[in-house]
Structure 1
């Protein structure tokens, strides 16, 4: 047990190191001479369309254009967009070609319409503070990077969302060596979130843009790797103080969204999926069992692992603006993750595919 506790303490130390070394959005870009194109793909976004457009209109960065692609929406999205017609450019999406993923093709079409020096691809469920883009541009220029991205602050409404959505921050602050990822152009050290990606247009075009990842369900990560292979630095920032993303309204959306991404994000490898599952059962569910055993038998060393993973999770939650009580759910999150992972693996191997926004991807 002593060795087990030492391993968890190392995990805690690495997490603290990542929290400290990940850059935050702080200083603003006061020079607005460069134009920013805000590019928003929308498919059935009647609940989010007005909110994201107003959020961008309220941005303190003055030199901007807003382009929205209506991707064959079947709800009220188009009529809501029409209310902003004098302030934004609206384009209708072309039919989805074979071998393209819907969002990727929508972003590709948007990039063809953009006239800005910088391209900010942003999801409809995102909301930004007025100075978010000014801060992101400042960091991009300071680091001489081709891309700034980050995982937003995530409001969580349903129980399944509380279990799974904050794990996105946990993965990044625990598993990714952020200092290495931000200093090097090695594709192996890469994380990104497609809800907010701010590109230097020249880096985006030089790397081939979304056309290079046309069939990817995790296009954000794959596109970031493409930029790195072309020699561009890509900065992963803690953007939670400036950008939020209310990803899912229902438990079903949470399950479908994560099922679509998780196994694909692991390279569709059964071996890697098994290793990840065993890791999270061993280090993030077993501490609960250990704590109960230690409490009953008054073996206090056996109680320590749960306290360590609670502290690790709590520090990440504080750094990212999540609920201060979320850490209590970590053992249950580990089990939910394992079930999700094997569900996604079965779907991927069987060829039944993943459903998202009314489309099926295999």
Structure 2
């Protein structure tokens, strides 16, 4: 009884923290007309993205509020005609430059190397660099709004997290956990104020950096061998004395990261091991998540069968607190709340399995992404 009560109190505290983050500390850039005067370079790395890059490119070419906008695209060894799609969409627009990338040298992973090539070959006058992934579609004032928020936060790096689009059951189970995890467990105001590199979060789908601060941190060369190059870049910025900030970018950008279960499974498997570090740490974290969010509904069933209605009621309350946290996260980041939040215990269970799979494949050196090894 005491243990179950402690579990419920812990869940209540975590859900309250989610509410505080979502309502008090989460930055929300304006989605209305705004203009910036400084030159900005949008950097788009592409590798075999012919089938989905067009909406991203058209949205970039339709940006408003940035008179000095330049778009630099890197074709990173594509074999599916990505470069031809880029040329067709650009239609000779002089704001867009298409570069041909070179293979990453020893010690580099593909994504950091592509981003570093873009950063070092971007328009020299650009004072802000905006990294965008091919699966991201920006609203017309997204770049201007993100740059405005970057300056308002007095930060060297701003991560305006896009609205994550989901369609399949697998996506609805797993994808919302991205926002839920940092809203629930990361103190956003503390992250901004603290110089500790360990207290950092960022999403590489849409990342805006002050160019001087980015270079002072070493840029992507400082995270050349990192699978989670976005989070590691944020940590590098902190180590160099810069400030980072996280924002709800759901009104600025939308992103469907994976369209099939194999894509989602392999995408998370390639990087979850890097999120936790040592396998022991991963085991502890996953065990705690399962205890907090997956155990309560199971405990409720067992308690009812054993004739312990009080324990069952507390377990149900714990389950509902977890659901409430998931609903708060979804509503504050443009996600889907109902009925997906009701399956939150299943979502956490799937995350645990994906984490186990990530370490299992890494141990056997079988992790790869887009034809390149990642460990």
Q: TM-score range by the shorter chain?
A: over 0.9
> RMSD over aligned Cα, in angstroms?
1.5
TM-score under structure 1 normalisation? 0.95
Could you tell me how far 1:28 is from its partner in structure 2?
A: 6.3
In structure 1, distance between residues paired with 2:32 and 2:168: 35
Q: Does the aligned pair in 2 maintain the 1:28–1:134 contact within 8 Å?
A: no
For these two proteins, the number of residue pairs brought into alignment is 360
For 1:267-278, list aligned pairs within 5 A.
267=277, 269-278=278-287
In structure 1, distance between residues paired with 2:174 and 2:288: 16
Q: Which residue of 2 aligns with 1:250?
A: 260
Could you tell me how far 1:188 is from its partner in structure 2?
A: 1.4
- In the alignment, structure 1 residue 89 sits paired with structure 2 residue 97: yes
Could you tell me how far 1:295 is from its partner in structure 2?
A: 5.4
- In the alignment, structure 1 residue 14 sits paired with structure 2 residue 38: no
In structure 2, distance between residues paired with 1:128 and 1:295: 50
- CA offsets per residue over residues 282-324 of structure 1, 9 Å max, x none? 0110112133345554442332111111111111111111112
2:110 to 98, 102, 106: 102
In structure 2, distance between residues paired with 1:349 and 1:331: 28
Could you tell me how far 1:198 is from its partner in structure 2?
A: 0.5
Q: Which residue of 1 aligns with 2:120?
A: 112
Could you tell me how far 1:159 is from its partner in structure 2?
A: 2.0
Q: Which residue of 1 aligns with 2:319?
A: 306
Q: Which residue of 1 aligns with 2:62?
A: 58
In structure 1, distance between residues paired with 2:227 and 2:315: 41
In structure 2, distance between residues paired with 1:250 and 1:222: 27
In structure 2, distance between residues paired with 1:163 and 1:132: 28
Q: Which residue of 1 aligns with 2:350?
A: 336
| CA spacing shift, 1:294–1:150, aligned 2, 3 Å | farther
Could you tell me how far 1:355 is from its partner in structure 2?
A: 1.6
The unaligned stretches of length 5 or more in structure 1 are none
- In the alignment, structure 1 residue 43 sits paired with structure 2 residue 47: yes
- CA offsets per residue over residues 23-81 of structure 1, 9 Å max, x none? 11127684432111010000010122211111111111232011100011111212111
Q: Which residue of 2 aligns with 1:215?
A: 225
In structure 2, distance between residues paired with 1:30 and 1:63: 14
| CA spacing shift, 1:295–1:316, aligned 2, 3 Å | farther
Q: Does the aligned pair in 2 maintain the 1:28–1:138 contact within 8 Å?
A: no
Q: Does the aligned pair in 1 maintain the 2:201–2:246 contact within 8 Å?
A: yes
Q: Does the aligned pair in 1 maintain the 2:192–2:244 contact within 8 Å?
A: yes
In structure 1, distance between residues paired with 2:217 and 2:87: 34
Q: Which residue of 2 aligns with 1:321?
A: 334
- CA offsets per residue over residues 103-133 of structure 1, 9 Å max, x none? 1111111011111111001000001111112
In structure 2, distance between residues paired with 1:121 and 1:150: 11
Q: Which residue of 2 aligns with 1:73?
A: 78
TM-score under structure 2 normalisation? 0.92
In structure 2, distance between residues paired with 1:31 and 1:331: 44
Which is further off, 285-294 or 39-48?
285-294
Q: Which residue of 2 aligns with 1:186?
A: 196
Q: Which residue of 2 aligns with 1:285?
A: 294
Q: Does the aligned pair in 2 maintain the 1:42–1:124 contact within 8 Å?
A: yes
